[in-house]
């Protein structure tokens, strides 16, 4: 589904990604771990096409498409989703209205019928149940006045409604208390399916207790330096990232 080869990217003139390679297949859950400044969030932003992130070398192929040439909204329409580390507030714009506009914009781009308000409401109700999110959140403006936990849950809720193919979760676990973490994890687990892949960017192992990944990668200094299964995360938890310094890039992992 996703094949990243030798990706180099710069932010404000500074090279952050330095030859990152990664392959993700449908149905897989990959965890990307690593110390601060390793390039974890840059990877998410580059994959979603944020301006200011300049790719200098390498390729990203997603379901046969050259992802890097596509506009952010076009990437979204093909099923790429980013759960933001810092979800953005949009004052005065109703959360439900925003989500419906997003879903319909994607559907329109894909040549599908747009949902009318009744159909959309039905969909939202179904997803609300799954996400254990309160209605009240839907009537407020997008992320405005939300607590940190509410913002993160709202991201997962948006993901549930938009049903992406490739979901990138950028430190979705950070700043959550244990109850909120469990809720978010449960939401992610519900959405796991054979035709959907997850890229979970995280600092800590604890999310992985609840969402068990198929692969764990360590990102350090702009490259993937080690890959393994979930036991790698436990090892990291024990020894820290310091023990990984100076290792050779691990290359692509299937």
Partner 1 sequence: MNSMIDESSSAATLRDNADVAEVLGRTYSAGFITQIEMTGLPPGLDEGTVRAISAIKHEPEWMTEWRLEAYRHWLTMPKPDWAKLKIDPIDYQAISYYAAPKVAPKSLAEVDPALLETYEKLGVPLHERAALAGVAVDAVFDSVSVGTTFRKQLADAGVLFCSMSEAIREYPEIVRKYLGSVVPTGDNFFAALNSAVFSDGSFVFIPKGVRCPMELSTYFRINAQNTGQFERTLIVAEEGAHVSYLEGCTAPKRDENQLHAAVVELVALEKAQIKYSTVQNWYPGDENGVGGIYNFVTKRGDCRGDDAKISWTQVETGSAITWKYPSVVLRGDRSVGEFYSVALTHHYQQADTGTKMIHLGKYTKSKIVSKGISAGRSSNSYRGLVKMEKGAEGARNYTQCDSLLIGKKCGAHTFPYMEVKNPTAIVEHEATTSKISDDQMFYCRARGISEEDAVSMIVDGFCKQVFRELPMEFAVEAKKLLEVSLEGAVG
Binding site for partner 1 (CB under 8 A): 48-52, 71-73, 75-77, 81-82, 84, 86-88, 90-93, 98-99, 101-103, 105-106, 109, 141-142, 158, 162
Beta strands in the chain (DSSP E): 2-11, 14-24, 29-33, 53-62, 65-66, 80-83, 90-94, 141-142, 166-170, 197-202, 215-220, 223-228
**Cβ at position 46, least distance to partner 1 in Å:** 12
Query: Could you count the other beta carbons within 10 Å of the beta carbon of residue 151?
Result: 20
Q: Nearer Cβ to partner 1, position 26 or 70?
A: 70
Q: Nearer Cβ to partner 1, position 5 or 54?
A: 54
Query: Could you count the other beta carbons within 10 Å of the beta carbon of residue 3?
Result: 17
Q: Nearer Cβ to partner 1, position 162 or 232?
A: 162
Q: Nearer Cβ to partner 1, position 42 or 205?
A: 42
Q: Nearer Cβ to partner 1, position 21 or 96?
A: 96
**Cβ at position 106, least distance to partner 1 in Å:** 4
β-sheet bridge partners, residue 167:
81, 198
Q: Nearer Cβ to partner 1, position 161 or 185?
A: 161
Q: Nearer Cβ to partner 1, position 67 or 103?
A: 103
In what order do the strands lie in the sheet containing 53-62? Answer: 14-24, 2-11, 53-62, 65-66
**Cβ at position 250, least distance to partner 1 in Å:** 29
Task: Take residue 9 and report the two structure tokens written for it.
Answer: 């990217």
The shares of helix, strand and coil residues in the chain, as percent rounded to the nearest 5, are 40, 30, 30
**Cβ at position 134, least distance to partner 1 in Å:** 21
Which residue bears the tokens 């036991």?
A: 231
**Cβ at position 63, least distance to partner 1 in Å:** 16
Torsion of CA 22, 154, 173, 145, to 10 degrees: 130
**Cβ at position 16, least distance to partner 1 in Å:** 17
Cβ neighbourhood burial of 23 (10 Å; 0-12, 13-18, 19+): middle
**Cβ at position 227, least distance to partner 1 in Å:** 27
């Amino acid at each position: 589904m996703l094949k990243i080869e030798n990706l180099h990217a710069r932010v404000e003139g500074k090279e952050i990604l330095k030859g990152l390679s990664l392959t993700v297949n449908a149905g897989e859950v990959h965890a990307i771990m690593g110390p601060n400044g390793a390039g974890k969030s840059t990877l998410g932003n580059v994959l979603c096409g944020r301006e200011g992130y300049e790719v200098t070398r390498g390729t990203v192929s997603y379901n046969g498409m050259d992802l890097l040439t596509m506009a952010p909204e076009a990437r979204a329409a093909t099923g790429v989703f980013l759960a933001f580390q810092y979800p953005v507030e949009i004052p005065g714009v109703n959360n439900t209205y925003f989500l419906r506009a997003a879903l319909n914009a994607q559907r329109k781009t894909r040549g599908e019928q747009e949902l009318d308000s009744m159909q959309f409401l039905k969909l939202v109700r179904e997803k609300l149940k799954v996400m254990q999110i309160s209605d009240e959140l839907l009537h407020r403006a997008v992320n405005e006045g939300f607590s940190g936990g509410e913002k993160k849950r709202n991201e997962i809720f948006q993901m549930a409604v938009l049903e992406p193919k490739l979901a990138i979760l950028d430190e979705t676990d950070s700043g959550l208390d244990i109850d909120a973490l469990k809720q978010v994890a449960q939401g992610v687990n519900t959405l796991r399916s054979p035709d959907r892949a997850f890229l979970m960017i995280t600092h800590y192992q604890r999310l992985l207790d609840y969402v068990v990944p198929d692969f764990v990668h360590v990102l350090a200094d702009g490259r993937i330096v080690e890959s393994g299964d979930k036991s790698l995360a436990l090892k990291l938890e024990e020894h820290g990232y310091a023990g990984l310094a100076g290792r050779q890039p691990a290359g692509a992992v299937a």
